[in-house]
Chain A
């Protein structure tokens, strides 16, 4: 048995109870039982005081219950425990977004994306905030990079098409939507947006 495996076993000896509670918290969050989720995350945090995971869970549960102050505190603790935790920055961004502090939310989503270019939460959050702010260049760049790495992600394809349209690039929006509809012919949102895009193109001509 090599050192890596031994270390894994050693780690598991210490973290099993923590892992059960964190998993349970995540499951309760997924079904909307936030009080149970909070109970589990709090116990998990006491067993893994150096782990950011339970604090992110606590932040998400608080956010879902519109307890923005509690959510912010939890995400800040997670950031302190792991300054490279993309999910913690995304959480703080969501809090700022809910507080309609869009420039701050934008910066935090960007920070989250710098730490994890795969973060769909940050990408879509950035998309929403960009729409609110009317500033699209950065988010378009990130969404394009993301799509290169995850071709066929319909949510991102739709968001990018919407941004192209808002940014005055209806041709690119049309191409993106046609690609999306080829993948998902029944996507009503995409079809509606395509109609709008084609209308814009007709007006331009």
Chain B
């Protein structure tokens, strides 16, 4: 059974060892993909950050996706590892990535955007994680989001650096939304044989489409080390993806395309869901229900609609992942259910009456509860009451009930087979962490910093994302005036991974105590991290320190 809450708890200390001059860093070939479009002014910096990696066994694909001429920039590096694909026509990022991947030979693939940068240990840290034998096939690190002001000449003034996303892998969340930055990602190249290539019909959320598909096949290992940075201009962002997100129709089109993508089976990490829509005739409501299922379901599914052939021909719905199951006219609901059940093959089966109000999380909530249940039971779909015949089951349980009692209604056959159906309890729902996070942030917004700090600390102890929550708790306690706790937590966070925010926080605590020497030391570190392109190396105690 897939464990949606599974995260890698591998100790990261071994991944943070500093590279040494007397230790040659050898290992499998890594293909780094760097597509570029009209950002020639930043490309040199981005490419330099790849060329100067401590891990040397690289092939570096620079793909010019039309736009500015960049041949001079690329040639200036005079590095035999750089492979330049010089295309005048702008075909989009997914096309460029696929073009490079078709020529890539590396065991692993890494990505960089043309205005971002790796720190020198980026590839080394991720290769070590992937080669450490946990077998995930995908690893990712943390990045600074660097807010900057772009001056008229194009140079960037760094205003702040924040680790805004440091989230442990959560498969269920990955199906819903992306929490892994693509620039921080490295994966086995052969996984693309299973996921398929980048989807060239997408123009936003291209990265999430791939990470979501990768999640069907393996676990991701989160290495909470800052290994690079991506820039975010404080004024209007020039990123194409940001601009396109402003078009709601286009955004929805991309979201739905991603959510309904079903890579070829088998899926070792995802159990398939068959949704059986039970209607006896086609009316306006039927089409609406199908569209709502399409819009509001993020868990991978195939929709089965058992209907008489004459009714099927009346339906004019263009949506993916739908299979019509012809049944003889006049057949009852139980017979139509059984016909669809025979046709479908999902590990889970959701039975949906035509009048169900389908809304966000309608099937994911009960499905998550079912996935974590050890009993033979079903769970009512959101919005369905007892007796509505709307629930989700394990296929084996539903088949057992139906085969034993084919002449009974669904509810009666389940009761006869001893399979209870109930509503999921609050504590059985997914995204418990996110709910607590929401509560903590509400407490912050109300100025109740101490309560927020306690919640963050509780989350650090009992949920994933320990380091992230510790940092949040430190900040909340500082705002609450509890400098002892803020000092302890920020110190612990800095020993694990010194970041600008936590260095500043710990320094403030020391300054408040009159310990100016320590404050100066910490602020000096923060200043170095902020002071421009960082030539950092991994450090066994602090995770990162500038060279």
Interface residues of A in 112-137 (CB under 8 A from B): none
Is there contact, CB below 8 Å, between A5 and B441?
Answer: yes
Is there contact, CB below 8 Å, between B523 and A20?
Answer: yes
In the assembled complex, the CB of B534 is this many whole angstroms from the nearest CB of chain A, namely: 13
- Chain B residues near A23 (CB-CB < 8 A): 504, 507-508, 511, 519, 523
Is there contact, CB below 8 Å, between B516 and A16?
Answer: no
| Nearest B residue to A14, CB-CB | B159
Is there contact, CB below 8 Å, between A16 and B511?
Answer: no
Is there contact, CB below 8 Å, between B508 and A5?
Answer: no
- Chain A residues near B516 (CB-CB < 8 A): 27, 30-31
Per-position 1/0 for B500-515, Cβ under 8 A of A: 1100100110010000
**Main SS of chain B's interface residues?**
helix
Per-position 1/0 for B504-547, Cβ under 8 A of A: 10011001000011011001101100100000000000000000
B: contact size bracket: 20 to 34
User: Quick one: which of A5, A14, A21, A28 contacts B234, CB cutoff 8 A?
Assistant: A14
In the assembled complex, the CB of B153 is this many whole angstroms from the nearest CB of chain A, namely: 16
Whether, in the assembled complex, B376 has its beta carbon less than 8 Å from a beta carbon of chain A, the answer is no
- Chain B residues near A4 (CB-CB < 8 A): 445
Is there contact, CB below 8 Å, between B159 and A17?
Answer: yes
User: Quick one: which of B162, B500, B520 contacts A27, CB cutoff 8 A?
Assistant: B520
Is there contact, CB below 8 Å, between B504 and A47?
Answer: no
- Chain A residues near B159 (CB-CB < 8 A): 13-18, 47
In the assembled complex, the CB of B434 is this many whole angstroms from the nearest CB of chain A, namely: 13
Distance, CA A30 to CA B518, complexed state (A): 13
Per-position 1/0 for B189-214, Cβ under 8 A of A: 00000000000000000000000000
Is there contact, CB below 8 Å, between B162 and A13?
Answer: yes
In the assembled complex, the CB of B521 is this many whole angstroms from the nearest CB of chain A, namely: 10
| Nearest B residue to A23, CB-CB | B523
Whether, in the assembled complex, B444 has its beta carbon less than 8 Å from a beta carbon of chain A, the answer is yes
**With A21-B527, A31-B517, A31-B520 in contact, is A16–B160 under 8 Å at CB?**
yes
Is there contact, CB below 8 Å, between B444 and A5?
Answer: yes
Is there contact, CB below 8 Å, between B158 and A24?
Answer: no
- Chain B residues near A13 (CB-CB < 8 A): 147, 159-160, 162, 234
Whether, in the assembled complex, A203 has its beta carbon less than 8 Å from a beta carbon of chain B, the answer is no
In the assembled complex, the CB of A40 is this many whole angstroms from the nearest CB of chain B, namely: 8
> Interface centre among A12, A15, A23, A47, by most B CB within 10 Å?
A23
Interface residues of B in 404-449 (CB under 8 A from A): 441, 444-445
Distance, CA A28 to CA B147, complexed state (A): 26
Interface residues of B in 138-175 (CB under 8 A from A): 147, 157-162
> Interface centre among A1, A16, A17, A23, by most B CB within 10 Å?
A17
In the assembled complex, the CB of A198 is this many whole angstroms from the nearest CB of chain B, namely: 36
- Chain A residues near B147 (CB-CB < 8 A): 13-14, 16
Is there contact, CB below 8 Å, between A27 and B160?
Answer: no
Whether, in the assembled complex, A70 has its beta carbon less than 8 Å from a beta carbon of chain B, the answer is no
In the assembled complex, the CB of A200 is this many whole angstroms from the nearest CB of chain B, namely: 38
Whether, in the assembled complex, A51 has its beta carbon less than 8 Å from a beta carbon of chain B, the answer is no
- Chain B residues near A72 (CB-CB < 8 A): none
Q: Which residues of A contact B (CB under 8 A)?
A: 1-2, 4-5, 12-21, 23-24, 26-28, 30-31, 47
A5-B444, A5-B445 known; 8 new pairs, CB 8 Å cut-off, are: A12-B160, A17-B530, A23-B511, A23-B519, A24-B520, A27-B507, A31-B516, A31-B517
